[in-house]
Each structure stands twice: as structure tokens, then as C-alpha cells.
Amino acid sequence: MSMFTIGEFSRIARVSPRQLRHYEALGFFAPEQIDPETGYRFYSALQLPRLNRILALKELGLTLAQIQHLLEEEISAEELHGMLTLRKAQIEQTIQGEFARIQTIEARLRQIERHDTPTDDVVLKAIPAQTVLSLRQVVPSLEAGFALMAQVYRSVPRRGGIGHFAVVLHSDSFETEHMDVEMGFLLTQDRAAPITLADGQTMTVRTVPAVATMATLVCVGFANHDAGYGTLGTWIEQHHWQLAGPSWEVFIEPFHPAKLDEAVIEIQIPITKHEHVRDMGHAPILS
């Protein structure tokens, strides 16, 4: 039985010498002999099947720790089945993510090609469930809406637990008459009581469910607010998402009715992917 130096063996197995030393350091693939004088490692051809087994498992995307476990513990078929099923699910996740990324990139490429203004600052976020102290009403006009905002804003004492001022547009955002709006404050603590306004209307506390995906955009100045909706709408269309609920306007910079041009507003629009597998619309990936 002839022996190979680490260089020869690495050329036969097509792995790097460093890799062989690494697996040895981790303790699951050592040379058959080590010269006590020089420290030279010697491997035999009979070690190839084990090394290949390791490489095959690595190809499945298992970590070296998992492989080590698997080699040492003589794992049961079910356990292996479980590990692989898990890995498969993980990979499917990543593939989904990569597809989404490709779509975003393609949308950006098309933008550049058409010399459109970039939509650099649209960001997807997951919003957890939150509680709000709010009032919901149908307002006849934009002016009436502003008046209500000012009234609500004045009526709530700035105490602990009161967070950002926010408006929810329950009717289509391009409606400007008879808008169904909700307005109030995000709560940072759960302990808040209803508040009755001067005209007798009552702001109540409710929990808003989490939203998995929101397309968000920050606008500086209330005047840029419409442009913000435009940008978000274009972005959503170009990336093949669909609207999935009422949009939010969160006033990051404390809302003040007299200083609307200093407002900093984050617009949040819930979106979702279509239900069916779509034509990805790009050159064949698997050719």
C-alpha cells in the first residue's frame, strides 16, 4: 500500500492541502500516518472514500459541524432525513430571496435604461403588531382632514407611552373627497386610556396586526408627500408587487400643523406577491 504526501493526495482528490489540514484540525479526517521527525503527513488511497463522502455531504450544503456529527454518531436514517428536509426548505427560502433580488435589480436596470429618476430610497420592512390611540372618520375634504388632524393633535397630552403621530388612509389613496381616515398616535406602552375630544368624539385604543411586507419611503416636507406616493406606486408596479391594505403615514418629526413643510413623514404601504408562480420575465436561468 503506497502512501501519498499531502500535495499528491490533494491533487488526486482535487482539494487544497489547507483544506485537508483544516479537516484534520477539526478532527474528522486525519492522515493515516504522520512522520514523527518531520511532521510530514501521509495519506493512503483507501482514505479517498471517506474524504469523498465528506465532500458529497458538503455539496448538500451541510456545515462541517453537521458532517462531523454525521460521521461520528452513526446517525439514524430518520435523523438524516430530517436534516436534509430542513436544508431543502432553507435552500428554497434562499432561492425565493434571490429571485426577489433579481427582480429588484431588473427594475433598477430598466430605470437606468430609461433615464428615470431613481427610487433609491424605497425600502421593504416587516412591521410588527402595534397599538394605536386613534379616531376613524370619513372627512368630506382635504381641508376638513387637516382640521381634524390639528384637533386630534392638540387634544392628546404628550405623556409617556405616546409615540409618533400617524394617519391611516382606509379609502383609496387617490380619493380626495369623502376620505375614510384614521388618525392618532402610536403607543410605545400598552397602558393608555381612551380620550374624548372637545366635540364629543372618542379616540380609542386598538391593536394593529403585524404586516409582513411594507414598502416604505421617507418624505421631507408635507408638500413632497404626493410625489412620495407616486414614487412608491411606480416602485410597487415595477417590482411586480400588489397593494395589500391601507397605507400609513407616520410623522417621524413631531407633527405640527403650522410647520407642515418641516414634517418628515414615512409612508408605509402594505404589499404582497401575487398568488401564482409568475413568469420571471428574464433570460432562462437554467439552460
Handedness of CA 101, 105, 110, 111 (dihedral sign): positive
For DNA, the closer of residues 67 and 139 by Cβ is 67
Query: By CB under 7 A, is residue 17 in contact with DNA?
Result: yes
Provide the grid cell at 141: 375634504
Residue 65 interacts, among DNA, a copy of itself, none and using kind-specific CB cut-offs from 5 to 8 Å, with DNA
Residue 41 interacts, among a copy of itself, DNA, none and using kind-specific CB cut-offs from 5 to 8 Å, with DNA
What is the helix, strand, coil percentage profile of the chain, to 5? 40, 25, 35
Shortest distance (Å) from residue 193 CB to DNA? 21
Shortest distance (Å) from residue 100 CB to DNA? 18
Cα 242 versus chain centre, distance: 17
Which residue has cell 493515516? 32
Q: Is 190 exposed, middle or buried (0-12, 13-18, 19+ CB in 10 A)?
A: exposed
Q: For residue 127, what is the DSSP state?
A: E
Residue 56 interacts, among DNA, a copy of itself, none and using kind-specific CB cut-offs from 5 to 8 Å, with a copy of itself
Shortest distance (Å) from residue 62 CB to DNA? 7
| Other CB atoms within 10 Å distance of the CB of residue 56 | 11
Residues 6+ apart with CB under 8 A from 103: 239, 240, 280
Residue 170 interacts, among a copy of itself, DNA, none and using kind-specific CB cut-offs from 5 to 8 Å, with none
CB 217 within 8 A of CB 232: yes
Query: By CB under 7 A, is residue 201 in contact with DNA?
Result: no
Query: By CB under 7 A, is residue 189 in contact with DNA?
Result: no
Which of 12, 56, 60, 65 touches DNA by CB under 7 A? 65
Query: By CB under 7 A, is residue 3 in contact with DNA?
Result: no
Query: By CB under 7 A, is residue 60 in contact with DNA?
Result: no
Which of 33, 52, 63, 189 touches DNA by CB under 7 A? 63
Provide the grid cell at 67: 458532517
Which of 12, 27, 33, 40 touches DNA by CB under 7 A? 40
Binding to DNA (CB under 7 A) within 204-223 occurs at none
Shortest distance (Å) from residue 121 CB to DNA? 17
Torsion of CA 121, 125, 130, 133, to 10 degrees: 20
Site of interaction with DNA (CB under 7 A): 5-8, 16-19, 21-22, 38-41, 58, 63-65
